[in-house]
Chains A and B, each alone.
Chain A
């Protein structure tokens, strides 16, 4: 039995009042999600449900233009608008005017210039949402449009408009391993690939409630992935010391990277402090598209060389990512992409030139996969091309080149942890293919086109595609990462109950269920309470980079073991022979006072890139392979994915239900990028900012996913576990598009694949050639050479 507990009963009554009875799960059990039932029944309180007596509603004026000088902002009519209590502009920000994850380059409110369409210019608070919206419409925003940069290659041109004074290159990473230039190969294959901007599409949009406190500070209840790094950015902008800005996790309806950056946090706090009233922000879907970063669109030029027996001898890759108007986490995304560009293969000679540029498009940053899906799309298409050129089976070609523990990575260091790439490939390939189906008479839902009823068997072609990829777990490049946890064992009505307290964010991924499983296993109790996360305990780091099972899991494991040590001390002090509590009665005796322990889990140190892009940059790696089977209506270009077979490198399966859920969900996002998901831009303006026109897969678009876990314990993971949440997303897009190529014989070098490309009305994406390599001071992000302060690293 587990339940959530809230510090503040008033704020979260439906949730904290819910006690969930379900089968107690320990490590390895198929434990049901402790937040599952309240989410399904509607009892779960999401951030958008937050309310406080007398609260105001915030609203944001966003720039309609992507690049413009702000001539004038006239708020007089908005201030006089019914219900309005405050209207704030950049000049009203009392502290630092800018914030950001990697660099504080993003204005709290734009002043002087706007750099993307959707950038906040003014915020206000009013008595009702309708009054707030109406007042935003009464602000006069006088803009003078400036020439903008809307294309990532244009951004690199010498005469391109500058998005920032420092120029349009945000970071260039150079990896030079072996000697590509003098490598001889029997076969070379070249390719050019593009991927589109993808939205994380969490079902719960951004929301938060800021409550002014008596000490002049503020309590913020908010959707986020990392409470402490939010506070790190919020407090300086408010001009407050950190201890007067307290963050509390509100119900998060999905994140997938979209909750790593600040959305309304600073705006809500500013308005709450100005009005001395609680202020709530709750974005709608349309605003949400402007309220968070997206997956980077990419262009990739790549060349693979191999011997006749299929052994890779060289990979050279040129990557270009569109970072949009602000840095966000782009510097880390492009570094990830660079390190994975050659794929999960042993390649003795690798050269990667990876650039992320500023443009006047909406900012891009973290999304599940974090740079890896883009390069996986390219390297896996290249492996298939190579297999064709060598007349080799594509799976066999991958097996011949698979990384293993001890293999040297393009970053020049051997893999220290587990790397069962061969095993993952073999497990995936061994999953049975779906049975053939009759061509006619299936029923409309079982054809490409689904409910549209567009075929009764005409034009069908089946195809199979295979993809292997990998993802780093936890933050890389020397980041000193840690998670704190406090575990308390006490009696509640005579029953032992463990309370697990961390600042780690549950956003739907199942972390709290996992932490409860760990506490049960370590402490031998059934009842576990997950205390609401806040900043009154040490940082948990981000629920991102597939890291939290490792990091929070490790911290809770350690804290539980310290609680057990405390019980042993008590037992010894009371004369029990071996210092162990035997049986419930004895445990009750030892718990006359609660036993509490804190612990911090820290992973091994990694290194930064040297000047040749060499270094032990990643903590550990998680691999996955997927095989997609598709059926294409080749005359209409419509697709039905029949099956995805997935094998993931799980280290140790902690919860088979949770694992399957992550693989299915991660695959769905990859299927979405393969077939339909694209944020469409015109002059930097999003043209499809709604779920009417930004399509994500439905149940009819998602195939059954056959999941296999390969278990080779990871030394860096508690219990040997690996964080697997991203690896299915990394490979799914590549696998589905490979299957489409197999079905159609077409090149299909751009994701998402559009129907007109499948039927051949539109040819493959073409490039006149890779752009020149930019002149940068070194491997770090350009702003770091200009003494811009950094966000996250400062925390540690």
Chain B
């Protein structure tokens, strides 16, 4: 068979290419440009090689921010994934309760991120906020603007409130796709509730849970807006996660070179974890 040669097909690729170029490649390349040079404005650049990268990689400040970030993401995943599954398991399966629960669950997801931060900021203020005031009234010494433990507690609580719904909705969708016959078969076998969860529900939810973990990892690892509005990274640097620290460095101190190097390293970490995760997922997929 003769293949037709038609170079016009390239025209169809151009829109995608232009789009990706403008929203990903060109900005990224600008960052790469800054990461290897020093600038004092006026479009004057001096070549610095890998100096910024070396500087960032040994910087204690970066290590601390990365440590906080990893800890935060781990705590978020450990709380939100089991909690989300637990809520999904206990949601009604039919009747008027279904739409009510679904709408209630979706609400936090629909609120703009900065509004979430502002809401929780006011909610948690020790003098006038409902949460802050109540905690103090029942005897806790709670002040998230001054005590780093409280700041962490509030940030995590806020994120759990904001994002657990996503895990719930995904798990619920996964659970609903299990045919009732599975539960009947388990009932006939006399399986316990735990066995049903372990051997039917969990394996059947594996795919959506993988997606949930991936999404929650990425979002929490790159979290910026909510803690920025809630704590501004404080007190001190207690809740300055990677992105907050990055913005401080780039826009607060105007250290464009090191900031660019740091964002590339940051980008590389997210990319690597996602790649590893994706491969694990696909390997399981091809095995089954």
**A and B from one assembly?**
no
